[in-house]
Structure 1
């Protein structure tokens, strides 16, 4: 069986790259095994163009955000499904000093398109601790990532194929002009292979020289009766409406203990930070863990192996894959015809770490 590409992994990055390649007419063999607690399926799917305590514009947000929203809206139209929920983010101020800091930045034209309104004075609320006001963001919201992945998997029909098994590197053979993968009773050949394995890339001998820095993220599902759902609240954690009286709260970042076991420390941290935002009682219904494929310089890792141009990687988007992946997938596919990869995402920036074997 012959294909243009073998793709390994169908999380958020792999799913979006699969979609982009197939839209350009390439044939695909996709290896993926379902994992309920993959980073993609655990994540809230948030697009937040101004991140962190300093309200700094996310890297290339002016490119990534409109491209991503249009990408998800096209899928909604094509499959008649709702996956993208545009919602303003209320980034709550913690103090008068934080208000003043923000007002000093508010005249910056580079971030104006992402600001809907600055609320220096908000009324007393029975639901929210909002005494110091908030900045209300535009072009924000969340993606239902599990539904998106299920849709894209279901769309993998001939001439494409979905192979529900783990990819075994020992079965991969690299030839001068193609690659082949030997199954028990079949051999799959392709022009190229792209690894979209998430944090498991640290175990891939072709790319384990790249500076991945996986981190553990934990989120809570909570229930709150009669709580407003017209926005996402953010102060140290996000509180995001999801389902009937349901909300997601997250997320933690833990580089020290990169495992998939829920921790009491994360539970306590998320609970305490949620109580700093909301005034009403809530019930925790679930605690979930995912391992993010983060990178030391907080930039993705995409491109082609230095000595094996048939082997590519599309990975390393950390907690911002929903925002980054559609644009970068388009850029990655364009590179097949000679376009330049986004320089700050191209793995060639780390060639000094590669040791030729």
Structure 2
């Protein structure tokens, strides 16, 4: 069987890229081993235009968010299902200094599209602990990632475009016209493996840091579900009085096992947002593919141009992947290139060091 592309991995990045390639008319085969604990399936799918304690606008938010809105709207029409939940995000000030910093920053231009209101004192909701107030952020929300992945998986299976199995690297053969994998041929192969790229002999030189993230799902009947909350952790309503709380960042123990320490940290953080009683329903962990400079990775292998990587979205995949997948799909078709900030060529020195010291033989 002959395909234009093989995409290895069907987490958030792989699913969005493979769908984008198919929409462009390419014949795509996806290879992915189903895993309930994958980072994409654990995540709450948060899209937040304002990032961090410094209240900075997220990187390229003006480009990423319109593309994300359009992509998820299209998917909802395609499947006839709601997949992206638009909700304001209440970013709570931790200190008066944070409030002052925000007031100074918000005077600059470029925020009007994202800020609904600034509260310099508590919003007087008895379930929220916000003595210094906070910022109500618009154009945010959360993607139902697991639902989206399930729908796309079912579609691929129905069209016989998915091999639900573990990719076996020793079965990959590079040819003059592309690649061969077992009985399948393709003009190009894209690895979208998440943190597993650290074991990929073609791309393990890239500076991916596997980073464990833990998420709690709790029941809190008297907690307001009308918005998402953010104060050191996010709190995302998922319906029926349930909320997802996350996420931790742990690069020292990159395993997928929930830990007592993670549970305690998330519970304590949630208790700083609300005084309401809550009970734990579920506790999950996944591993994100974090990059040294916090920018994604996309591009062809420097020696084997029939191989590419699309990876490193970290915790911002819901926001970034639709726009970057459009760019990368066009680049793979010979229509320009991806933005310089995400090209893997920025790490070519690491590749040359790798082949020099490791007797590079994939």
TM-score exceeds 0.5 = yes
Residues 1:337 and 2:334 aligned together:
yes
Q: Label 1:189 to 1:228 Cα distance change in 2 as closer, same or farther (>3 A).
A: same
Cα distance in 1, alignment partners of residues 248 and 157 from structure 2: 37
Could you give the per-residue CA deviations for residues 96-132 of structure 1, whole angstroms, max 9, x where no partner exists? 2211111000012133321111111234332000121
Cα distance in 2, alignment partners of residues 139 and 65 from structure 1: 8
Could you give the per-residue CA deviations for residues 311-334 of structure 1, whole angstroms, max 9, x where no partner exists? 011100000100010000000011
Residues 1:82 and 2:79 aligned together:
no
SS in 1 for 2:340: coil
- What is the match of residue 110 of structure 2? 110
Residues 1:278 and 2:274 aligned together:
yes
- What is the match of residue 44 of structure 2? 44
Contact persistence 1:17–1:329 (CA under 8 A)? yes
Query: How far is 1:34 from its partner?
Result: 1.1
Cα distance in 2, alignment partners of residues 78 and 166 from structure 1: 28
1:297 corresponds, among 293, 296, 303, to 293
- What is the match of residue 345 of structure 2? 348
Gaps of 5+ in 2: none
Q: Label 1:123 to 1:210 Cα distance change in 2 as closer, same or farther (>3 A).
A: closer
What TM-score, normalized to structure 1? Answer: 0.97
Cα distance in 1, alignment partners of residues 275 and 15 from structure 2: 39
Cα distance in 1, alignment partners of residues 165 and 248 from structure 2: 31
- What is the match of residue 66 of structure 2? 66
Contact persistence 1:27–1:159 (CA under 8 A)? no
Query: How far is 1:229 from its partner?
Result: 1.0
For structure 1, which segment, 69-78 or 194-203, has the greater mean C-alpha deviation from structure 2 after superposition? 69-78
Query: How far is 1:338 from its partner?
Result: 3.1
Query: How far is 1:235 from its partner?
Result: 0.3
Query: How far is 1:214 from its partner?
Result: 1.2
1:254 corresponds, among 247, 250, 254, to 250
Runs of 4 or more, structure 1, over 6 Å off, are none
Cα distance in 2, alignment partners of residues 109 and 75 from structure 1: 33
SS in 2 for 1:148: helix
Contact persistence 2:5–2:29 (CA under 8 A)? yes
Query: How far is 1:261 from its partner?
Result: 1.3
Matched positions, count: 353
Cα distance in 2, alignment partners of residues 147 and 123 from structure 1: 33
Query: How far is 1:159 from its partner?
Result: 6.2
Contact persistence 1:92–1:133 (CA under 8 A)? yes
Cα distance in 1, alignment partners of residues 189 and 307 from structure 2: 5
**Aligned runs of 1:182-221 on 2, under 5 Å?**
182=182, 187-221=183-217
Q: Label 1:128 to 1:159 Cα distance change in 2 as closer, same or farther (>3 A).
A: closer
Cα distance in 2, alignment partners of residues 119 and 339 from structure 1: 45
SS in 2 for 1:337: coil
Q: Label 1:338 to 1:124 Cα distance change in 2 as closer, same or farther (>3 A).
A: closer
SS in 1 for 2:315: coil
- What is the match of residue 322 of structure 1? 318
SS in 2 for 1:36: coil
Cα distance in 2, alignment partners of residues 75 and 165 from structure 1: 25
Query: How far is 1:160 from its partner?
Result: 5.3
Query: How far is 1:168 from its partner?
Result: 0.5
Residues 1:243 and 2:276 aligned together:
no
What TM-score, normalized to structure 2? Answer: 0.95
Contact persistence 1:27–1:160 (CA under 8 A)? no
For structure 1, which segment, 197-206 or 158-167, has the greater mean C-alpha deviation from structure 2 after superposition? 158-167
Cα distance in 2, alignment partners of residues 148 and 123 from structure 1: 34
Query: How far is 1:136 from its partner?
Result: 0.6
- What is the match of residue 181 of structure 2? 181
